[in-house]
């Protein structure tokens, strides 16, 4: 994310001021909570480090200001069932991946790398056996060894699919999976992440 001095910033300046409600943990941990609990399991504990890598930025009027909010968050999330998730979120990195957001999920029978639009998999039976040798360069195209899964044309946008599902549930008068309690769980993860970063320790999250 550009600082705003030479090239205009992509995000509003309040995002980088804690006193105005900005910050990476507050912005993203609530999202990571519903992603993790809906795909893998409830978040039971978190170890996080919130950092402000870029201390000065320029606002919409070209004035320099102090960035008081965290612009990066490094988190280890412990989920039910012994699952460990590691998610790094940052407004201070350059993108070197297929999409702006990608998740790699590793299991004993295979792995998947999924973004908002694409997904690649590598089943156990098709996993190569590379040998690490620091004396010679690697001759394998590791990314080329993954299998691309075709997009679901009916739902090319996950956000749109989720919104349409919500509208259908409201219209039918039935409860929706993401309710007020789910929102509260997301904010609890935000609080636990900020506490973990401030105190430098692992923070457990009890049942709501």
* All structural domains of the chain with their residue ranges: 13-204
Which residue has 């590379």 as its token pair?
130
Residue 125 backbone dihedrals phi, psi, to 5 degrees: -65, -20
Say what the pLDDT of residue 151 is. 74
The mean pLDDT value for 7-13 works out to 94
Nearest to 67 by CA among 112, 106, 103, 14: 14
The mean pLDDT value for 88-115 works out to 94
Q: What does pTM read for this prediction?
A: 0.89
Q: What is the rounded CA–CA span in Å between residue 31 and residue 159?
A: 12
Q: What is the DSSP letter of 150?
A: P
Q: What is the rounded CA–CA span in Å between residue 172 and residue 163?
A: 14
Residue 102 has pLDDT above 70, yes or no: yes
Say what the pLDDT of residue 155 is. 60
Say what the pLDDT of residue 180 is. 83
Residue 65 backbone dihedrals phi, psi, to 5 degrees: -145, 160
The mean pLDDT value for 182-206 works out to 96
pLDDT tens by residue, 107-163: 999 999 998 888 999 999 999 988 888 999 988 899 999 999 987 666 667 778 888
CB neighbour list of residue 179: distance below 8 Å, 6 or more residues apart: none
Say what the pLDDT of residue 44 is. 98
Write down the mean pLDDT value for the chain: 93
What is the pLDDT confidence band of residue 179, given thresholds at 50, 70 and 90? confident
Nearest to 121 by CA among 103, 133, 139: 103
Say what the pLDDT of residue 13 is. 96
Say what the pLDDT of residue 166 is. 87
Say what the pLDDT of residue 154 is. 63
Task: Judge contact between 176 and 170, C-beta under 8 A.
Answer: yes
Q: What is the rounded CA–CA span in Å between residue 7 and residue 52?
A: 20
Residue 114 backbone dihedrals phi, psi, to 5 degrees: -120, 140
What is the pLDDT confidence band of residue 89, given thresholds at 50, 70 and 90? very high
Task: Judge contact between 90 and 72, C-beta under 8 A.
Answer: yes
Which of left, alpha, beta for 110 (phi over 0: left; psi -120 to 50: alpha)? left
Q: What is the rounded CA–CA span in Å between residue 202 and residue 88?
A: 16
Instruction: Look at domain 13-204 and name its CATH class.
Output: alpha beta
Say what the pLDDT of residue 153 is. 65
**pLDDT higher for 62 or 152?**
62
Q: What is the rounded CA–CA span in Å between residue 136 and residue 101?
A: 32
The mean pLDDT value for 62-86 works out to 97
Nearest to 114 by CA among 203, 201, 40, 200: 40
Q: What is the rounded CA–CA span in Å between residue 205 and residue 208?
A: 9
């Amino acid at each position: 994310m550009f600082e705003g001095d030479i090239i205009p910033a992509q995000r509003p300046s309040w995002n980088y001021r804690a006193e105005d409600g900005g910050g990476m943990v507050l912005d993203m941990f609530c999202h990571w909570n519903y992603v993790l609990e809906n795909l893998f399991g409830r978040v039971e504990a978190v170890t996080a480090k919130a950092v402000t890598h870029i201390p000065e930025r320029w606002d919409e009027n070209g004035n320099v200001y102090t960035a008081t909010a965290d612009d990066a968050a490094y988190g280890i999330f412990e989920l039910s069932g012994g699952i460990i998730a590691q998610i790094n979120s940052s407004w201070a990195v350059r993108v070197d991946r297929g999409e702006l957001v990608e998740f790699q999920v590793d299991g004993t029978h295979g792995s998947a790398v999924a973004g908002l639009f694409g997904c690649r998999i590598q089943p156990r039976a098709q996993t190569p056996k590379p040998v690490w040798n620091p004396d010679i360069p690697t001759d394998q195209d590791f990314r080329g060894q993954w299998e691309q899964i075709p997009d679901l044309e009916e739902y090319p946008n996950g956000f749109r699919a989720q919104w349409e599902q919500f509208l259908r549930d409201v219209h039918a008068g039935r409860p929706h999976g993401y309710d007020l309690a789910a929102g509260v769980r997301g904010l609890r993860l935000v609080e636990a992440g900020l506490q973990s970063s401030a105190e430098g320790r692992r923070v457990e999250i009890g049942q709501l």
